[in-house]
């Protein structure tokens, strides 16, 4: 066993241990308040709903423990078995030396195989866990077709992108990673416009929000907050899940607001207006370009690291791949990077939660009071059976949003 392989196994074990410890802490915290919730929480949910939320949180954490162990064992097996270098050697033999497309085929095959390994857990979560608490609205046929469509879209987009990227690497010289970054980041920016117009309709039906008081309210909100969207659409999220959401996509004249039909059914018009004001707050506070800039910087750094690893003789060889194998380096980086970034996730969530507080404050100003947003957040927490008493450490590693109690406190203080 090489030193780099041993290090990878240690990192897998450390992340698994930390994940299980955080889940155990969170389960203990949830159970601690199960019988008698804090006053701030008791004001949000009635007793029976809170009891169901506790059961839901415990069931999800138990499922997360199983999947964490499975993922760690699977990743360890992949590294120790040598199956990936053997697959690369087999696929590389399909094309001439130096051809880029076999590397793209290899990467796509690995993604598909890893996805297939998670299918039983996806099905269990959908049809057992979510169904147990009344959230699943999808049948086996729809679930299967979603997987088939997702695979088809992934192949149609992923294979050409990877082929062009690997071909670019071969032709651009030592500075290939700069051009590779520009290609992938440019593709991501294009997808902001393409996804809601081309890909999302393959899975969900989008229809204009009908004329009426709600539509008038939301367009008036956009006008007075300086957020003009080309349209407001309703998405049929209820055909898959009882969970709800709202978001906006695109930019400039392509900007559109999307509301889940479940959200419209759960909230009063004033509460929906407050939710949309929160989403507009992200736009008006400049969170979107900040997120894109940070994402771009991290992606550029990732490409620079991959370029260094490709040249390092110990990296690919340590896992059984040929030295200098571009496809091998890309895959190994993808499999290993999560073992490092896991430890920095609290920093990313800290920034995200700061942005959520700022968007809440914007919504409060736009609505003239905190009451509509507080009412919406409480209703959503109730309908989604949210965990209102997470352990602080678990929240730091896994929550991109502040807890509802934290958000209400900030709104009450005028934040």
Task: Output the pTM of the full model.
Answer: 0.92
The answer to whether residue 360 is catalytic is yes
Residue 262: other Cβ atoms inside 10 A:
23
Question: Which pLDDT score, from 0 to 100, does residue 250 have?
Answer: 66
Mean pLDDT of 273-300: 93
Whether 211 has a pLDDT exceeding 70, the answer reads: yes
pLDDT category at 232 given cuts 50, 70, 90 is confident
Task: Dump pLDDT digits (tens) for 338-348.
Answer: 999 999 999 99
Question: Which pLDDT score, from 0 to 100, does residue 51 have?
Answer: 95
Q: 360: which 2 tokens?
A: 């809440």
Active-site residue, from 71, 233, 273, 360: 360
Phi, psi at 399, each rounded to 5°: -105, 115
H or E stretch including 256?
strand 256-260
Question: Which pLDDT score, from 0 to 100, does residue 324 have?
Answer: 85
Three-state DSSP class for 415?
coil
Active-site residue, from 279, 356, 358, 382: 279
H or E stretch including 295?
helix 287-311
Separation between Cα atoms, residue 324 and residue 301, nearest integer Å: 19
Question: Which pLDDT score, from 0 to 100, does residue 150 have?
Answer: 93
Question: Which pLDDT score, from 0 to 100, does residue 322 have?
Answer: 92
Domains present along the chain, CATH in parentheses: 3-133+144-202 (no CATH), 204-266 (3.30.2010.10)
Mean pLDDT estimate for the chain: 92
Question: Which pLDDT score, from 0 to 100, does residue 260 have?
Answer: 87
The answer to whether residue 279 is catalytic is yes
């Amino acid at each position: 066993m090489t030193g780099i392989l041993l290090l990878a196994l240690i990192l897998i074990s450390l992340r698994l241990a930390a994940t299980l410890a955080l889940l155990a802490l969170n389960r203990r915290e949830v159970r601690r308040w199960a019988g008698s919730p804090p006053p701030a929480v008791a004001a949000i949910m009635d007793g029976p709903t809170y009891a169901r939320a506790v059961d839901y949180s415990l069931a999800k954490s138990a499922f997360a423990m199983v999947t964490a162990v499975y993922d760690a064992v699977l990743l360890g097996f992949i590294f120790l078995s040598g199956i990936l270098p053997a697959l690369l050697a087999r696929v590389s033999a399909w094309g001439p030396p130096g051809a880029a497309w076999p590397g793209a085929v290899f990467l796509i095959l690995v993604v598909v195989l890893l996805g297939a390994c998670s299918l039983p857990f996806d099905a269990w979560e959908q049809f057992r866990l979510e169904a147990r608490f009344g959230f699943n609205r999808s049948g086996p046929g729809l679930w299967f077709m979603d997987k088939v469509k997702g695979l088809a879209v992934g192949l149609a987009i992923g294979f050409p992108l990877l082929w062009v990227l690997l071909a670019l690497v071969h032709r651009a010289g030592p500075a290939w990673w700069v051009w590779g970054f520009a290609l992938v980041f440019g593709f991501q920016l294009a997808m902001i416009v393409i996804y809601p117009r081309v890909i999302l309709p393959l899975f969900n039906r989008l229809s204009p929000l009908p004329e009426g008081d709600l539509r008038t309210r939301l367009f008036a909100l956009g006008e007075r907050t300086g957020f003009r969207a080309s349209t407001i659409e309703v998405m049929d999220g209820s055909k898959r899940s009882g969970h709800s959401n709202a978001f906006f996509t695109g930019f400039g004249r392509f900007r559109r607001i999307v509301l889940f039909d479940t959200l419209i059914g759960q909230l009063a018009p004033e509460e929906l207006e407050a939710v949309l004001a929160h989403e507009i707050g992200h736009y008006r506070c400049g969170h979107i370009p900040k997120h894109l800039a940070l994402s771009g910087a991290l992606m550029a750094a990732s490409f620079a690291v991959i370029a260094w690893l490709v040249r390092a003789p110990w990296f690919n060889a340590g896992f059984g791949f040929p030295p200098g194998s571009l496809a091998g380096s890309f895959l190994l980086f993808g499999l290993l990077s999560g073992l490092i970034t896991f430890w920095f996730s609290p920093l990313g969530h800290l920034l995200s939660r700061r942005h959520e507080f700022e968007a809440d404050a914007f919504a409060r100003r736009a609505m003239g009071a905190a009451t509509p947003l507080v009412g919406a957040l409480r209703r959503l927490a109730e309908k989604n059976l949210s965990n209102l008493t997470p352990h602080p450490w678990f929240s730091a590693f896994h929550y991109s949003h502040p807890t509802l109690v934290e958000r209400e406190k900030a709104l009450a203080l005028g934040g």
